[in-house]
Amino acid sequence: MKENNLHIQNTLSRKKEKFEPLAPPFVGLYVCGPTVYSPPHLGNVRTFLAFDIVNRYLRYLGYRVRYVRNITDVGHIANSEGEEVDRIGEQAKKENLEPMEIVQKYTLDFHEVTHIFNMLPPDIEPTATGHIPEQIEMVDRILKNGFAYERNGSVYFNIPEFAKTHDYGKLSGQNIEEQHEGYRELDAQDEKHDVRDFAIWKFTDETHPMRWNSPWGEGVPGWHLECSVMSTKYLGQKFDIHGGGMDLKFPHHECEIAQSLGADGTEPVRYWMHSNMLTMNGQKMSKSFGNSILPRELVSGEHELLDQGYSPMTIRFFMLQAHYSSPLDLSNEALKAAEKGYKRLMEAYKVIQTMPLRDAKNVTDTDKEVNDTIDGIFVEMDDDFNTPKALAHIFELVTVINSYRDNRPEYAGVSKATMERLREVFTATINDILGLKVEETADDNTVDGLMQLIIDIRQNARANKDWTTSDLIRDQLDALELQLKDGKDGTTWTRK
């Protein structure tokens, strides 16, 4: 196990806390997965990427992580107005498909997207439909404890009753009275006693294709229930980290806490983590706002708001340039800058893999500076997974790599051992922690081949003292911002 001083911003305490796993080396990580009724948009990608970094860094530190990320394939999803919508059922009607066909279609889509963006798969990916008996049992316990009531075959969590003895709203920092605001008024048809009450079991009639038998008649579980059930089933009554996008803090996660306390008198989660939203022109990216960009649109560039396409790793790099808890705005300018930065990074990555390392005659202070920069990566990752600051150190190392390759005298005093360490850490940070990889396209291979041809022609020209041809090659490459470097081991090329 590597030494670590990892601090995580716990949403519940609003403080950065030193992370100590409950049962080391085992770390339980639960992340709310997608509702599979539409293809994931880039906002969803941002959140899953944030927790991919958490998963990857914990593993890098030597922990054994059990990463559970669910698939919401049934349930009435409460929106921020307190209304409950059957998104999968509605989409099935729109596409004239069975709900389970919708679920299958968009689960496959989701897996493809996580694969394209090089996210590690979860260790367990449970579905809500696979855990109906456990959800029914939990409803039953909540009812028995007096925190829920039944009405016409549906069961509602009783917030006013719960709030008499518990602090409902503590995760999102809202007081119970404020929660009335923003909610629509109840009308005569409403079964709820209070607008803040939420369904934990919902009656569905025979026209509804997804329904299960229960002590209260046929119906479906409420959305918040699945995460309470599945997180504790696979991670235990008390587990380390629960994550999700910031928009899930309320009501979803607040309701999870209420359900666990209501059913079992326990709060299972030790660290709550919430990732911030991806915005587009300042507005949260969301299907319902009509400003969502699908990953494949961003890659192909086929979207009215995009000037061009960007590779998946460029997009991943772009997202890592912001801290997960800060908002991030998507724009053409920012993506273009990310494209440049990413290329520069990966060129240095390729160089360090094969660059010959030299023994230093006199080790100078620069050697210590390089080691401090390497250490800086971990200092920043330990500080609540600060990827933008870790990347800043990595770019300092890019300068070191390029200068060392060019035999710049300032770096003559860096020892071979330090350069070996740099190679090892740089490679592990890029591949294992940040999950970035070289994107070899057919184009790249062709360019490499053509550049080798040009280098050979120039070599011949020089051997024949044909300076006109060799100068012409150099000037033309210069105009294309490509640079040749003559070294002991032959000529190489880089982009400027």
* Among candidate residues 205, 225, 226, the one with its CA nearest the CA of residue 217: 205
Q: Decide: 322 and 270 in contact? Cβ < 8 Å.
A: no
- Comparison of 293 and 414: residue with beta carbon closer to ligand AMP: 293
Stretch that binds Zn ion, among 26-34, 49-57, 347-355, 359-367 (CB under 5 A): 26-34
Side chain identity at residue 451, one-letter code: M
- Comparison of 128 and 248: residue with beta carbon closer to ligand AMP: 248
CB neighbour list of residue 98: distance below 8 Å, 6 or more residues apart: 92, 209
User: Using CB distances below 5 to 8 A depending on partner kind, what does residue 430 bind out of ligand AMP, Zn ion, none?
Assistant: none
Residues 469, 455: Cα–Cα separation, whole Å:
12
User: Using CB distances below 5 to 8 A depending on partner kind, what does residue 43 bind out of ligand AMP, Zn ion, none?
Assistant: ligand AMP
User: Using CB distances below 5 to 8 A depending on partner kind, what does residue 293 bind out of ligand AMP, Zn ion, none?
Assistant: none
- Comparison of 55 and 402: residue with beta carbon closer to ligand AMP: 55
Angle between helices 387-405 and 365-382 (to 10 degrees): 160
Q: Residue 483: what are its φ and ψ, rounded to 5°?
A: -130, 135
Residues 398, 355: Cα–Cα separation, whole Å:
13
Instruction: Check binding of 114 to ligand AMP (CB under 6 A).
Output: no
Q: How far is the CB of 244 from Zn ion (least distance, A)?
A: 6
Residues from 334 through 393 that contact Zn ion (CB under 5 A): none
Q: How far is the CB of 209 from ligand AMP (least distance, A)?
A: 21
User: Using CB distances below 5 to 8 A depending on partner kind, what does residue 355 bind out of ligand AMP, Zn ion, none?
Assistant: none
User: Using CB distances below 5 to 8 A depending on partner kind, what does residue 34 bind out of ligand AMP, Zn ion, none?
Assistant: ligand AMP
Residues from 172 through 231 that contact Zn ion (CB under 5 A): 227
Burial of 359 (C-beta count, 10 Å sphere; 0-12/13-18/19+)? exposed
Residues from 227 through 266 that contact Zn ion (CB under 5 A): 227
Side chain identity at residue 240, one-letter code: D
- Binding footprint of ligand AMP, residue count (CB under 6 A): 16
User: Using CB distances below 5 to 8 A depending on partner kind, what does residue 227 bind out of ligand AMP, Zn ion, none?
Assistant: Zn ion
Instruction: Check binding of 122 to ligand AMP (CB under 6 A).
Output: no
Residues from 24 through 83 that contact ligand AMP (CB under 6 A): 32, 34-35, 43-44, 46-47
User: Using CB distances below 5 to 8 A depending on partner kind, what does residue 436 bind out of Zn ion, ligand AMP, none?
Assistant: none
DSSP 116-152: HTTPPPPSB--BSGGGHHHHHHHHHHHHHTTSEEEET
Q: For the window 275-294, what string marks contact with ligand AMP as x by the rule CB under 6 A?
A: --xx-----xxx--------
Q: Decide: 216 and 142 in contact? Cβ < 8 Å.
A: no
Q: How far is the CB of 167 from ligand AMP (least distance, A)?
A: 23
Query: Positive or negative, the Cα torsion across 293, 299, 304, 306?
Result: positive
Q: Decide: 201 and 155 in contact? Cβ < 8 Å.
A: yes
Q: Decide: 67 and 54 in contact? Cβ < 8 Å.
A: no
Residue 99, CA distances (Å) to 90, 210, 420 in order: 9, 7, 55
Residues 327, 335: Cα–Cα separation, whole Å:
15
Instruction: Check binding of 200 to ligand AMP (CB under 6 A).
Output: no
Residues from 236 through 255 that contact ligand AMP (CB under 6 A): 244-245, 247-248
Contact positions toward ligand AMP, by CB under 6 A?
32, 34-35, 43-44, 46-47, 244-245, 247-248, 277-278, 284-286
Contact positions toward Zn ion, by CB under 5 A?
32, 227
